[in-house]
Structure 1
Amino acid sequence: MAAVEQTTVRETVRRIWADDVLPSLSGLVEIPALSPAFDTEWAATGHLDAAIAHVKGWLEARQIPGATVRVVRLEGRTPVLLLDVPATPSAEDRGTVLLYGHLDKQPPVGGWAEGLGPWKPVVRDGRLYGRGSADDGYAGYAATAALESIHAADGAHARAVVLLETGEESGSPDLPAYLDELSDFLGDVSFVVCLDSGGQDYERLWLTTSLRGLVQVRVTVRVLESGQHSGLASGVVPSSFRVLRLLLDRLEDPATGELKLPELNVDIPANRVEEATRTAESVASMSTAFPLAGSTRPVTEDSLEQLLNNSWRPTLSVLGAAGLPDPAEAGNVLRDSTTLALGFRLPPTADSAAALAAIEKVLTTDVPYSATVELSGLEYADGWNAPATAPWLSAALDHVGEAVFAAPSRSVGLGGSIPFMGLLGEKYPNAQFLVTGALGPDSNAHVPDEWLHLDQAQRVTEAVAHILDAHARG
């Protein structure tokens, strides 16, 4: 099926990673390019611009025939870096391949292991440690190396545009404007490759076929104008915490964690259940990936149910709280109010706006004791469900499973949200999607000791090269 020559692709990818990618990616780790949500003065601090300049310099030094590099800046928005590579002669009618990545990063957070740090690149035991190494600084490098390996092996690819944004960790608020601005430039996008994902192990290519949507809301229950002595007021004035607990019980079954509102639930598509069943047969329980404390048990021991819970069923997490003093400083006070930050993960095909409206209604209607309820920080985003896989892509996945990984690829729904995927799905309804990456369950994205599995990143790069060649040949 795949005409591109296997050995040359592999050798080229490994040479580029060892000689060119790893040194430059290590330099990128050193740049504290916080996403705008975590650095509101990003334009003044200049770290996002430094990341753009760093990768731009690396791209300009590559020798891909006809390739051009440019930075696009819309007024008041974070910049975007573009690599535009013309199609090989046999693939000029195959539209545009959009290869996506991002250069902005999560905050450093404390608690990194000895010898490690967020802005300190360290290679240890086949891993590159540092913030942004795996999420998702490597993506632009991998996409470019894949294209270079295709040329080295006399393969084919359609016109390819590598787009690296700098606001993904803030929810990609500027990406819609850039996609509108670049609509004519991008042309007919027939294939989207996103390397901002991963899977359950480092032994195969993992495909993300769905992403959950989200709703976030801060709910405050207020019962007093000011706190009162608990010995005097309790039993007369209701506890704001108890009112909140009653409201939460309207949303969530406290024994099972199941969410009760129909707007937050969907029927799981049969093909996604089949995928999850195959994945459950290939990997250990998801609970082994998390540091459960003491004798804590997972919600369910069944691997299939874990996968479906994490990808197609809604969940509620209490993300934060206010109005609750530290226990060591807590006096005998019936507090005036309690605030909880609630995070809902929604099934990929749920209507997030309808879900938010239903949540708002439940939290503000017939409130116990007629307590005052205030909602703030409202946010919602739809999930994404991949289109049916085209025959050429299915065959290419079978090929790389055998030739690159010696293990069949597997599909999984990602429990988190990547808001731009829903946007891209709406923008390019006729495109095929490959959402994959080198992240594993223990890669520590967003938390201390983030690391990139270097061998997996190289295998993913090699796989992308084969799949781009297959796309070009149809």
Structure 2
Amino acid sequence: MDQRLLRETIQDTWRTSALASLSEFVTIPALSPAFDALWASNGHLHAAVEHVRAWLAARELPGAELEAVKLPGRTPLLLLEIPASAGVATGETVVLYGHLDKQPAAGEWSPGLDPWTPVLKDGRLYGRGAGDDGYAGYAAATALEALHRAGGRHARTVVLLETGEESGSPDLAAYLDHLRDRIGPVGLVVCLDVAGGDYERLWLATSLRGIAFLDLTVRVLDAGVHSGHSSGLVPSSFRVIRQLLDRIEDSRTGEVLLPELSVEIPEDRLAEVRQAVAEGGLRPELPLTEGVRLAGDDPVELVLNNTWRATLSVTGASGLPSLEDAGNVLRPFTGLKLSFRLPPTADSAVALRAVVDALTTDVPYQAKVEIGRAAAASGWNAPKLAPWLAATLDQVSAEVFGQPWRALGLGGTIPFLGLFAETYPDAQFVVTGPRGPGNNAHVPDEWLHLAQTERVTEAVARILHAHAGE
């Protein structure tokens, strides 16, 4: 393989057609179904699929088959199938994964920026979906096309781009079952949907936390009552909800108290964290309010809190009027959206049941508790690297990044990984991406680091080439 041509092809594609198409992709408000109940009629997810499909169709990929797969009542999925290069007979399929659905605007963006307007500035592409996760399909196809031009090779490859990841991938299992025969036996999974510790080296995610979430509503009245007439007689719904949450979380430390949400941290993951911290990595850029301290002083423990321990976040509320509109009223109910991040190896279904039981058993004052929209997805812990992959990562990191690669656990959730790990227990996983500190995924001013995207794309191409030689 001509490695110089490989790099030049990747750089040229990213700096021209891929960047132009990804910029147009930003303009499509393809909100994930959790944020757009009318997604089917609004058509933005389908528009995103069609936009990326058109770009993929123009690529020089011999024998490629491209289809927008649409199961009834489910979000669409884009599938690109490329036969193995001549002479490659591994019998294994490589799956390259990404997603096309997006988070909402999530507040005001900085002056000159807008979630649905692409802006190129300082080597970054700003706009919702640029980094999470619109680039993935472009990177996958660019890597494959560059391999062909440079005389490289790859096994049979499937690029799979779903449109429900930001909602917990509720349709993905159905699609994987539907496409099982077309996907075939999987030997390598490349997931392009994570962030690393910096923009200087190749980062691999070796674990992701699971997730459980639900709507909790505590109701004590059928209608609001003057607080002077009712307080001290009727328990506050907010006080009841505080007592229920105290069963689950120590409010002083943030420790989740339910044993079903705790696991023993593997020694190899502890070693990864200690190494990364010792080298100065894993320092997230967070917009802390002036004077606010982190939840602890030990950087290793902070990383473990974010990657291998359960946490509770209250991400939404109802029944609470704004400060300006709040009167002297004992409110009839309080509702909270509870989001639990779970350890990678915890059983998410068991964890969710434990949370629901804690919230609904022996409720103080026999207040009425309502649980809604409860769901869970398990996390993922990577298998041990095969010797060929470990050696390839070492070489690629040195020649593309000039730095050794590093591993880290991530606090987020990608249900795809758990599904594939269960279905293909012998597969190798490369979970990587160009995002890093301060990339603002899910919040205002999301951006994609373009130079790092080129490097990660080249790394993926070279990993595919090495896999084909096994």
CA displacement, residues 291-336 of structure 1 (integer Å, 9 cap, x when unaligned): 1112110001222111110000000111122222222222222222
Asked if 1 retains the 8 angstrom alpha-carbon contact of 2:198 and 2:281, the reply is no
Residue pairs, 1:193-232, within 5 angstroms: 193-232=190-229
Q: 1:153 aligns with which of 150, 164, 176?
A: 150
Asked if 2 retains the 8 angstrom alpha-carbon contact of 1:109 and 1:448, the reply is yes
State the match for 1:135 in structure 2: 132
Q: 1:95 aligns with which of 92, 95, 100?
A: 92
Structure 1 pair 374–33 and aligned structure 2 pair: CA distance change class (3 A): closer
State the match for 2:377 in structure 1: 381
State the match for 2:428 in structure 1: 432
Shift of 1:465: 0.8
Residue aligned with 2:33, SS: coil
Q: 1:328 aligns with which of 311, 324, 327?
A: 324
State the match for 2:121 in structure 1: 124
Residue aligned with 1:251, SS: coil
- Looking at structure 1, the residues matched to 237 and 31 of structure 2 have their Cα atoms a distance apart, in angstroms, of 36
In structure 2, the gaps of 5 or more residues are: none
When normalised by structure 2's length, the TM-score is: 0.96
Shift of 1:104: 1.7
State the match for 1:277 in structure 2: 274
1:397 correspondence with 2:390: no
Shift of 1:221: 2.1
State the match for 2:455 in structure 1: 459
CA displacement, residues 426-466 of structure 1 (integer Å, 9 cap, x when unaligned): 12111111111111131111221111100000000000011
State the match for 2:161 in structure 1: 164
- Looking at structure 2, the residues matched to 359 and 52 of structure 1 have their Cα atoms a distance apart, in angstroms, of 37
- Looking at structure 2, the residues matched to 132 and 39 of structure 1 have their Cα atoms a distance apart, in angstroms, of 15
Asked if 1 retains the 8 angstrom alpha-carbon contact of 2:168 and 2:377, the reply is no
Structure 1 pair 296–19 and aligned structure 2 pair: CA distance change class (3 A): same
1:37 correspondence with 2:34: yes
Q: Which residue identity lines up with residue 436 of structure 2 in the other structure?
A: G
Q: Which residue identity lines up with residue 203 of structure 2 in the other structure?
A: W
- Looking at structure 2, the residues matched to 471 and 54 of structure 1 have their Cα atoms a distance apart, in angstroms, of 30
- Looking at structure 2, the residues matched to 66 and 326 of structure 1 have their Cα atoms a distance apart, in angstroms, of 58
Q: 2:348 aligns with which of 342, 352, 367?
A: 352
- Looking at structure 2, the residues matched to 226 and 44 of structure 1 have their Cα atoms a distance apart, in angstroms, of 36
Q: Which residue identity lines up with residue 402 of structure 1 in the other structure?
A: A
Q: Which residue identity lines up with residue 397 of structure 2 in the other structure?
A: G
- Looking at structure 1, the residues matched to 215 and 37 of structure 2 have their Cα atoms a distance apart, in angstroms, of 21
Asked if 2 retains the 8 angstrom alpha-carbon contact of 1:285 and 1:301, the reply is no
State the match for 1:49 in structure 2: 46
- Looking at structure 2, the residues matched to 42 and 314 of structure 1 have their Cα atoms a distance apart, in angstroms, of 32
Residue aligned with 2:30, SS: coil
Structure 1 pair 53–375 and aligned structure 2 pair: CA distance change class (3 A): closer
More deviation in 302-311 or 81-90? Answer: 81-90
Aligned-residue RMSD, C-alpha: 1.6
Shift of 1:290: 0.6
1:254 correspondence with 2:251: yes
Structure 1 pair 385–89 and aligned structure 2 pair: CA distance change class (3 A): same
Shift of 1:214: 1.2
Q: Which residue identity lines up with residue 352 of structure 1 in the other structure?
A: S
Q: 2:18 aligns with which of 18, 21, 25?
A: 21
Asked if 2 retains the 8 angstrom alpha-carbon contact of 1:171 and 1:420, the reply is no
1:298 correspondence with 2:269: no
| Percentage of matched positions with identical amino acids | 60
Structure 1 pair 329–99 and aligned structure 2 pair: CA distance change class (3 A): same
1:233 correspondence with 2:230: yes
Q: Which residue identity lines up with residue 248 of structure 1 in the other structure?
A: L
Q: Which residue identity lines up with residue 279 of structure 2 in the other structure?
A: S
State the match for 2:303 in structure 1: 307
Q: Which residue identity lines up with residue 71 of structure 1 in the other structure?
A: A
State the match for 1:6 in structure 2: 3
In structure 1, the gaps of 5 or more residues are: none
- Looking at structure 1, the residues matched to 334 and 316 of structure 2 have their Cα atoms a distance apart, in angstroms, of 11
CA displacement, residues 44-83 of structure 1 (integer Å, 9 cap, x when unaligned): 3222222222222212211122222222222222222222
Q: Which residue identity lines up with residue 128 of structure 2 in the other structure?
A: R
- Looking at structure 1, the residues matched to 114 and 329 of structure 2 have their Cα atoms a distance apart, in angstroms, of 42
Structure 1 pair 333–449 and aligned structure 2 pair: CA distance change class (3 A): same
Structure 1 pair 32–369 and aligned structure 2 pair: CA distance change class (3 A): closer
Asked if 1 retains the 8 angstrom alpha-carbon contact of 2:209 and 2:341, the reply is yes
CA displacement, residues 369-400 of structure 1 (integer Å, 9 cap, x when unaligned): 33222222211111111111111111111111
